[in-house]
Structure 1
Amino acid sequence: MSNLVFFFSGEITVIANLLLLLTAAVWGFGFVAQSLGMDHLAPFMFNSLRFFIGALSLLPLIWYFANKKTLLVGQKKSLLIASISAGSVLFIAASLQQVGLQYTSAANAGFITGLYIVIVPVLGLILKHQTGVNTWIGCAIAVVGLYFLSIKDDMSIGYGDLLQLIGAVFWAIHILIIDHFAKKHSPILLSHLQFIFCGLLSITVSMMIETTVVANIGLAWAALAYSGIISVGVGYTLQVVAQKNAHPAHVAIILSLETVFAAIGGIVILGETLDARAILGCGLMLMGILVSQIPLRYFVKSWGQQKHPTV
């Protein structure tokens, strides 16, 4: 009986990891959709529409959990503060990312944005979170990778890459804000409200500095649908479902492969190219991201098991 339980639990874990891999692919190819969307729409208008669509896509989930009476609302004032805080930072991060995509490739954007995984535990020091040695090693490797990917011979960094790098810091801040407020409110409800607030900020800025041709919204429907429904609605749902049966370390590592899928999408769909220096930089950045997620004790434990195998 115990063997049967072990078999099914192992199978469930594999399915969860595959769902996480699918989530990483969905989010990675989202960079391609965002890049294509700007063929017809300016950055802030595109962001406003995709976040409004994303908010709508979460309504079925909210309705489902509300009917199950498992939707944690908490105090309305606290929820409003959480939504405004998260939505404001999300607006800054998403704006930097979207504008930056005008000046850099989807591959570069994906890998540089992925640095938020390394930045989160570093910023966590301010909140007195514990940070392992593996984080610092991973951070150092990622910085070297960023040098090869983005730093030019004259030691300058491309404008688009710089915007993505600043954006990565705000993505990390956004994760810490969500981590703080998600303990008091439903993550899905919080996401829904922050998307609405982010969309309102984006469309306000768009109306002030951009000119939008209504017909172009229809031309960008595919990119908007993917960015709003697939990246947000489907991607978020897959993540929630998968994380129930996946190891936290596996979640972080698999989702970090979003950067790889962004590069694949950029090369296959957008026709982007990476020279040897850029490929080296991407490889080192991915290595740094992965190392930052794996505690050194894991390697020590694995080495000890190999040295003294169980008979």
Structure 2
Amino acid sequence: MNSKLKNDALLVLTALIWGSAFVAQSVGMDYMGPFTFNSLRCLMGGLVLLPVIWIMGRKDPKDPAYRPDSRSIEEGQKKRGDKKILLTGGLCCGIALAAASSLQQIGLVYTSAGKAGFITALYILIVPVLGLFLGKKVGLKTWIGVGLAIIGMYFLCIKEGFFISYGDFLVMICAFIFSLHILIIDYFSPKVDGVKLSCIQFWVAGILCAVPMIISEKPTFEAVAAAWLPLLYAGVLSCGVAYTLQIIAQKNTDPTVASLILSMESVFAALAGWVLINETLSPKEIFGCVLVFTAIILAQLPQKRPA
């Protein structure tokens, strides 16, 4: 129970950081293109994790558990197998992250932030549907929570008539790929070191986004320098900290429940705008926040398992 509460708390913290980072993403787009912003923030996130991995990987030679001469051939083969799983997981996570985040950033150019937030949050419905094909059963309370969360997201994010535009279509694809990203993490995170997996995915995503950045956007040093603050926040906190917390917390968390908790990103974005930049929340938006919080609580209630 303590482990479950700890993982849920880490996922809530992840959603909080992502929600408040939306301001940084919007401001950063004033100075550079979407591929430039995503590439730099991901590379920065990977760079931040390198000293963390080095510190965590240090071993004390005086520690009796540290016996480099006692490693067997079997242990060496197991380590090589773990390394292969780690690289494969990092590559898959990085490809998914690069595709989803780029589609989201490009979609924001053509659609409103509210609609983009709502459509992206549809991964809370896509994840359990995809999970059914992978043999993951979802309880009735969780399905009710998913429904409540989607309704709450609509009240929170949609301020005008709902219609599908080019930007909305891009964000829909983004939501589907983010769902795959959550399921990929669910598969690989119990098998490998979470911090290393996170670091590899950032380097992969940063390099992939750098290719279209160089070809089509040609960023300047002046633009990067002008956007140093949103880049620093999005790179260090949103990438380096939040995505790593997501991977660590998802090791022992059902992916559907994890997606529900992470959907609070939109709620925290609205609350951050209210607290930090005095954006008012209408009764309709407050009602949406209440529905999302209710959905999260409902999904956490214990369910009777069949014998």
> What TM-score do you get using the length of structure 1 for normalisation?
0.74
Aligned to 2:44: 53
Q: Following superposition of structure 1 onto structure 2, how do residues 57-136 of structure 1 map, counting pairs within 5 Å?
A: 57-68=48-59, 74-136=81-143
Inter-CA distance 262–230: structure 2 relative to 1 (3 Å threshold): same
Inter-CA distance 131–219: structure 2 relative to 1 (3 Å threshold): same
Inter-CA distance 271–283: structure 2 relative to 1 (3 Å threshold): same
Task: Give the Cα–Cα distance (whole angstroms) in 2 for the partners of residues 110 and 138 of structure 1.
Answer: 18
* Alignment of 1:31 onto 2:22: yes
Task: Give the Cα–Cα distance (whole angstroms) in 1 for the partners of residues 253 and 188 of structure 2.
Answer: 22
Matched residue type, 2:233: Y
Secondary structure at the counterpart of residue 109 of structure 2: coil
Conserved 8 A contact 2:20-2:269: yes
* CA displacement, residues 244-284 of structure 1 (integer Å, 9 cap, x when unaligned): 99999997765543221111234555676666656655654
* CA displacement, residues 172-222 of structure 1 (integer Å, 9 cap, x when unaligned): 111111221223321211111111111111010112222322210000100
Task: Give the Cα–Cα distance (whole angstroms) in 1 for the partners of residues 89 and 4 of structure 2.
Answer: 32
Conserved 8 A contact 1:29-1:265: yes
Matched residue type, 1:29: S
- By how many angstroms is 1:87 displaced? 1.2
Q: Which range moved further: 232-241 or 96-105?
A: 232-241
- By how many angstroms is 1:45 displaced? 0.5
Q: Which range moved further: 116-125 or 135-144?
A: 135-144
Matched residue type, 1:31: F
Matched residue type, 1:171: F
Matched residue type, 1:138: G
Aligned to 1:183: 190
Q: Which range moved further: 264-273 or 136-145?
A: 264-273
Q: Following superposition of structure 1 onto structure 2, how do residues 216-235 of structure 1 map, counting pairs within 5 Å?
A: 216-235=223-242
Task: Give the Cα–Cα distance (whole angstroms) in 2 for the partners of residues 272 and 73 of structure 1.
Answer: 52
Inter-CA distance 176–211: structure 2 relative to 1 (3 Å threshold): same
Q: Following superposition of structure 1 onto structure 2, how do residues 1-311 of structure 1 map, counting pairs within 5 Å?
A: 21-68=12-59, 74-145=81-152, 149-150=157-158, 153=161, 156-236=163-243, 255-267=262-274, 269=276, 284=291, 287-288=294-295, 291-292=298-299, 294=301, 297=304
Inter-CA distance 195–13: structure 2 relative to 1 (3 Å threshold): closer
Task: Give the Cα–Cα distance (whole angstroms) in 2 for the partners of residues 162 and 282 of structure 1.
Answer: 25
Secondary structure at the counterpart of residue 241 of structure 2: helix
Report the RMSD for the aligned CA atoms in angstroms.
Answer: 3.9
Inter-CA distance 249–203: structure 2 relative to 1 (3 Å threshold): closer
Matched residue type, 1:263: A
Q: Percent identity?
A: 46
Matched residue type, 2:231: L
- By how many angstroms is 1:119 displaced? 2.6
* CA displacement, residues 6-64 of structure 1 (integer Å, 9 cap, x when unaligned): xxx98x99888766654432221111111111010100100000000000111122112
* CA displacement, residues 49-102 of structure 1 (integer Å, 9 cap, x when unaligned): 0000000111122112222599x7744443333222221111111112212233
Conserved 8 A contact 1:96-1:163: yes
Aligned to 2:71: none
Inter-CA distance 13–259: structure 2 relative to 1 (3 Å threshold): same
Conserved 8 A contact 1:111-1:260: no
Conserved 8 A contact 1:28-1:110: no
